Amino acid sequence: MSSIRPDELDERLESGAEPFILDIRPRSAFQSNAIANSHNVPVYEALRSGDDDALRSRLEEIPADEDVVVVCKMGVVAKRATAVLTDEGYDATTLAGGMSGWTGYRNGSLGYKLRSLLWKLR
């Protein structure tokens, strides 16, 4: 299963090669902090509890002909959503670190810089 680092996503967004950003967090979290032009399909809690059908029942909201980057809080539940989408034939990837990673990247936090070093060493 693939993932994309926040800095890589930012480069894609700046270059105009925008993927479909699927934010699976609850609507309240999405409304308080989201990546620009992302789309909210709030299935986080259902996926976290093992209900993959919650996402499968909403596939019509996700374009099948675009790259999809899945976002959650920390990236863990997004991996599950990415697996479901991949099984359904989508070209999907997970945002490494989720919104926490994205926010840390955008703010230049020390935590993000350390995490980024670990990603590059892998």
- Angle, helices 98-107 vs 110-121, to 10°: value is 110
pLDDT, tens digit, for every residue of 54-108?
999 999 999 999 999 999 999 999 999 999 999 999 999 999 999 999 998 888 6
- What are phi and psi for residue 93, nearest 5 degrees? -140, 160
Domains and CATH numbers, the chain: 3-121 (3.40.250.10)
Chain CA centroid to CA 101, Å: 10
pTM more than 0.85: yes
Percent of the chain with pLDDT over 70: 87
Of residues 106 and 116, more confidently modeled? 106
Q: How far is CA 83 from CA 67, 88, 93, in A?
A: 14, 9, 9
Predicted confidence at residue 122, as pLDDT, reads 63
